[in-house]
């Protein structure tokens, strides 16, 4: 299975080039949220992205009806499809956590006030399956559509599903990715859990880390069978080598302290890829910057890599753009593709004192190295855990 196209939108920028440049330079992209009232929240900033303009070829009415998150998704998916040079009949698998939540919030506010004008349109536009079906129509992609909502692992699961569909001969190619836009309910929700960093700057794997920052955007890829890609002479970016998924039943919002399910997914993904942990050149970690997540992931990496742990290079790009929730796994997969192409690693920025649980090589600033295999972890509320492995080499 190979990747023949990729696209991305984050607070770092629009498209592969802008994002790669930002991560390579070690930039952060956080700002005060101005989409809704944050004056009474403990945290006031996030990785708020610049909303792209309507792409050429997309109908004005369709664009106007799309919520913020779907617009990010459309732009990233368009970039991936354009690079791959495909459209038409293909399954689409998309991860999201919030869907078109801001439109639902709008419906609620009008309903409370007893206002009916415009409510039908809000109901219709609130539903993610309606939004994404319209997006597919604008992209010229016929489906079928599968929307996965496994909280923060959704995007990684979506690419994993695509990988499995192709591996088992159910499709030649699949458009897969994940997205989420900022929403007041979600922002306030994480704030209520005291999961947001009060400073607004997440420091994953820092001993004094104090929470995450929420981000927004989308990441998409075209996953294709090697045969189908070869047949049409497509440029192949990378291989998809392994996928693991498991369920952490410890708690609805807290990971197992030793990262049991994360260990399962990393073990399964490396087994499927036919690799040993020491052959993984880079891990793009889940690394949210919350006290519980990072120590659990560090424990899982230590158990998975054993004696090789010290050689494993790992960073969290959430330190630059925040946590994209349902989009995180897909965006971080696309960042792994950038590292394979550019032979550099993004840094875990803002770390002042490394947490004692860290036994791996924490990459604290961008680094030029050889990257043959990159692994990304995603863990979600509810216990959804997923790991994906990508390889630079494409079979001859």
Contact residues: another protein, CB under 8 A: 37, 40-42, 89, 91, 96-97, 99, 104-105, 107-109, 111-114, 119-120, 123-124, 127-130, 132-134, 136-137, 141-151, 157, 164, 168, 184-185, 188-194, 245-249, 252-253, 260-261, 264, 380-384
Q: Is the CB of 112 or the CB of 396 nearer to another protein?
A: 112
Q: Is the CB of 91 or the CB of 287 nearer to another protein?
A: 91
CB 156 within 8 A of CB 330: yes
Smallest gap from Cβ 184 to another protein, in A, equals 6
CB 307 within 8 A of CB 337: no
Indicate which residue of 161, 256, 323, 373 is catalytic.
Answer: 323
Q: Is the CB of 113 or the CB of 396 nearer to another protein?
A: 113
Let me know if 323 is a catalytic residue. Answer: yes
Smallest gap from Cβ 350 to another protein, in A, equals 26
Let me know if 336 is a catalytic residue. Answer: no
- As a 3-state breakdown, the chain gives helix, strand, coil percent values, each rounded to 5, of 40, 20, 40
Q: Is the CB of 282 or the CB of 379 nearer to another protein?
A: 379
For residue 316, give the nearest of 295, 294, 300 by alpha carbon. Answer: 294
Smallest gap from Cβ 387 to another protein, in A, equals 13
Let me know if 256 is a catalytic residue. Answer: no
200 φ/ψ sector (left φ>0, alpha ψ -120 to 50, else beta): left
Indicate which residue of 152, 161, 336, 373 is catalytic.
Answer: 152
Smallest gap from Cβ 376 to another protein, in A, equals 18
Q: Coil, helix or strand for 171?
A: coil
Smallest gap from Cβ 126 to another protein, in A, equals 8
Q: Is the CB of 187 or the CB of 344 nearer to another protein?
A: 187
For residue 77, give the nearest of 64, 87, 62, 66 by alpha carbon. Answer: 87
Q: List CB contacts of 323: < 8 A, sequence separation 6 or more.
A: 152, 202, 212, 213, 214, 215, 288
Residue 44: Cβ within 10 Å count: 17
Catalytic machinery residues: 152, 286, 323
């Amino acid at each position: 299975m190979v990747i023949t196209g990729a696209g991305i939108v984050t607070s770092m920028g629009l498209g592969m080039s802008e994002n790669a440049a930002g991560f390579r330079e070690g930039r952060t992209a956080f700002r005060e949220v101005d989409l809704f009232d944050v004056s009474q929240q403990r945290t006031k900033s996030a990785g708020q992205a610049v909303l792209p303009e309507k792409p050429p070829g997309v109908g004005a009415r369709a664009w106007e009806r799309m919520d913020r998150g779907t617009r990010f998704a459309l732009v990233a998916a368009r970039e991936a499809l354009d690079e791959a040079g495909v459209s038409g009949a293909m399954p689409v698998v998309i991860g999201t956590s919030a869907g078109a939540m801001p439109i639902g919030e709008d419906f609620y506010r009008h309903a409370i006030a007893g206002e009916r004008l415009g409510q039908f349109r809000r109901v219709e536009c609130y539903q993610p399956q309606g939004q994404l079906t319209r997006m597919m129509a604008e992209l010229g992609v016929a489906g079928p559509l599968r929307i996965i909502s496994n909280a923060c692992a959704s995007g990684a699961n979506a690419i994993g599903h695509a990988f499995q569909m192709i591996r088992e001969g159910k499709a030649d190619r699949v458009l897969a990715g994940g997205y989420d836009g900022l929403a007041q309910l979600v922002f306030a929700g994480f704030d209520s859990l005291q999961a947001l960093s009060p400073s607004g700057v997440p420091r994953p794997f820092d001993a004094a880390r104090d929470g995450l920052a929420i981000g927004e955007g989308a990441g998409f890829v075209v996953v294709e069978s090697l045969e189908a890609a070869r047949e049409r002479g497509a440029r192949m970016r990378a291989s998809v080598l392994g996928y693991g998924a498991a369920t952490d039943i410890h708690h609805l919002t807290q990971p197992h302290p030793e990262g049991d399910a994360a260990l399962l997914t990393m073990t399964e993904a490396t087994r499927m890829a036919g690799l040993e942990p020491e052959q993984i050149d880079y891990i793009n970690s889940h690394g949210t910057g919350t006290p519980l997540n990072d120590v659990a992931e560090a424990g899982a990496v230590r158990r998975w890599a054993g004696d090789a742990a010290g050689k494993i290079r790992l960073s969290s790009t959430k330190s630059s753009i925040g946590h994209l929730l349902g989009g995180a796994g897909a965006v971080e997969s696309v960042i792994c593709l950038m590292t394979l192409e550019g032979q550099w690693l993004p840094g875990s920025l803002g770390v002042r004192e490394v947490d004692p649980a860290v036994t791996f090589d924490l990459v604290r600033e961008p680094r030029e190295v050889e990257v043959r295999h990159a692994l990304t972890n995603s863990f979600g509320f509810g216990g959804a855990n997923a790991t994906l492995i990508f390889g630079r080499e494409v079979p001859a």
